[in-house]
Amino acid sequence: MAKSALLKSSIAKKYWMALTGLFLCLFLTGHLLGNLQLIFSDAKHFNEYALFMTSNPAVKILSYLTYISILFHAIDGLMLAAQNKAARPVGYAKTNPSANSSFASRNMAVLGTVILIFIVTHMVNFWAKMHFDKNMPLAQQESMQMPGQMEFIGVPGSRVPSIPAQGKSLHEIVDEVNKQAMAQAQAMGEKNLEKAKKFEVEGSDAIKDLKKGEIIFKGYKDLYKITIDFFKQPKYGLLFTLLYAASMIVLAFHLLHGFQSAFQSLGVTSRKITPAIKFFGTAFAIVVPALFAAIPVYIHFFLK
């Protein structure tokens, strides 16, 4: 791009919209396949998948690329929309836009803004909880050795594969063990009781051995439960399910124009491939959002 500005030229902006848009279509496909495990798999596998997606280094690179793409697509898109508005300072008194263009193609900026708002609320509801919530629940299951007792499920590689839960949080269990150790030390006449502490909670999902300084237990964060509870909550579950489905309809319209438009912007057109791109784009724009929407609908109305 020696002779032209990488970002300033009108056509270069179109390339960036197309490239980030198509990358986000790939992201949607991956995200959908992950989400479908909520229906077609079980809590254990879904939580294992959630841990993989938040800890694998390759996934981390992909996720940063996704954040950048979303931001760039949104900022570039809003800049283009502002420029396009400025290109016609005085509007027409009478217009007849449906005579020559589709609804989706005329409203990409509005549809995109709605999707951006959805992404922000979606990330607050799920992504931020998974990443930052100190009180994120850990996955539990019934103990194999002691039926009727609950235990936290540990990640392979933890020195202890599972620890007894009995309806307590990780903090409560560690506090209890430390209290016993401290009481023992006090009985022995120890002065510095802090030194007697055995464990501490690391982050929100792990126990650290203070003597050896290493993680002895790491549990699965229960994203499955968070998701199911979110859409099944008595007061707002139905509202959230409907809002989610409505957002997917908006996404469908955005994709209906956006997918094939990206190829036109990149100049990837020909008599042979353009009909195929248009067909695939339409199918993608209908199937992907429909499957996304089907998941909360299934959870709210059908999941026992």
Binding site for another protein (CB under 8 A): 1-4, 8-15, 80, 83-84, 86-97, 99-102, 105-106, 108, 257, 260-261, 264-269
| Residue 108 or 288 having the CB closest to another protein | 108
The nearest distance, CB 255 to another protein, in angstroms, is: 14
Q: Determine the Cα–Cα distance for residues 256 and 284; give it in Å rounded to an integer.
A: 8
Terminal CA-CA length for the chain: 57
The nearest distance, CB 114 to another protein, in angstroms, is: 17
The nearest distance, CB 113 to another protein, in angstroms, is: 15
Q: Are 202 and 277 in contact (CB under 8 A)?
A: no
The nearest distance, CB 107 to another protein, in angstroms, is: 10
| Cα separations in angstroms, 191 against 114, 175, 180, 198, 211 | 61, 19, 15, 16, 18
Residues 6+ apart with CB under 8 A from 212: none
Q: What is the DSSP string of 26-58?
A: HHHHHHHHHHTHHHHS-HHHHHHHHHHHHH-HH
| Residue 6 or 183 having the CB closest to another protein | 6
| Residue 17 or 170 having the CB closest to another protein | 17
The overall longest dimension of the chain from CA atoms, in Å, is 91
Handedness of CA 15, 19, 20, 21 (dihedral sign): positive
The nearest distance, CB 1 to another protein, in angstroms, is: 5
| Residue 84 or 180 having the CB closest to another protein | 84
| Residue 2 or 144 having the CB closest to another protein | 2
